[in-house]
Chain A
């Protein structure tokens, strides 16, 4: 079945460690996104990519990095520079140029920094 796969679903890390969250899609979508969600908060855009080898900062990119070497993959690294990394991270995709507003989300990765 087509979809978006995020891994791991749950991740615990010590403060000061970098972590990389995986996002893979087999929907043949050009555009991919990373959002962060905190309890009682709306989704906030971290990074997005509309095409391979290109990506743009979202509203809260500081302390994060991404790469887009393959169409299917858009990994997110949470670096030690991110002041408050504990959150629910959601990866999404949609066809490039789509104005339908439908984002296809993965099941999310819940990161807890101890």
Chain B
């Protein structure tokens, strides 16, 4: 089983639509979770962290389900500018305490918002 798995898409949605992406992870020791956004041929940028209780940032809502080992990202009222690839990232803490070497990136889900 892959460590972090995402549906590659593409998700083609009209402007104004609501779209949801899921991501599953295999390591139950995973500590923290994130969604990054990557535009075509550009570097990834942090979109939002995912907290246990779920969190919202404007039109974006992230949820975590530890029991089922998945996280989700919901985008409401899609804009053309939301078109990008969304990367699910999972952080597995190492024994040394330095967690940065243990960020596992999913392959990403491509979203295309059409007029």
| The one of A40, A56, A100, A102 that contacts B101, using a Cβ cutoff of 8 Å | A56
User: What are the interface flags for B11-54 relative to A under an 8 Å C-beta threshold, 1 for contact and 0 otherwise?
Assistant: 00000000000000000000111100000011111100100000
A63 within 8 A of B: no
List residues of chain A with CB under 8 Å of any chain B CB: 31, 33, 35, 40-45, 48, 50, 56, 58, 88, 90, 94, 96-103, 105-108, 110
- The answer on a CB contact under 8 Å between B45 and A31 is no
Q: Which residue numbers of B lie inside 8 Å of A, CB to CB?
A: 4, 8, 31-34, 41-46, 49, 87, 89, 91, 93, 97-101, 103-108
9 new A-B contacts, CB < 8 A, other than A98-B100, A99-B99, A110-B41, are A42-B105, A50-B100, A88-B41, A96-B100, A99-B93, A101-B33, A103-B44, A103-B103, A108-B42
- Whether A97 pairs with B97 at a CB distance below 8 angstroms is yes
Query: Contact at A101–B89, with CB atoms within 8 Å?
Result: yes
Query: Can you pick out 20 interface pairs between chain A and chain B where the beta carbons lie within 8 Å of each other?
Result: A31-B98, A33-B100, A40-B8, A40-B107, A42-B4, A42-B104, A42-B108, A48-B100, A50-B98, A90-B43, A99-B99, A101-B32, A101-B89, A101-B91, A103-B100, A105-B43, A105-B44, A105-B45, A106-B43, A108-B42
Is A97 a contact of B43 with CB atoms below 8 Å?
A: no
B-chain residues with CB within 8 Å of residue A110 when the two chains form the complex: 41
Contact present for A99 and B32 (CB under 8 Å)? yes
Known contacts A56-B101, A100-B49, A42 near B43 by CB under 8 Å? no
Rounded to whole angstroms, the CA-CA distance of A64 and B70 in the bound complex is 33
Query: Are A48's CB and B31's CB within 8 A?
Result: no
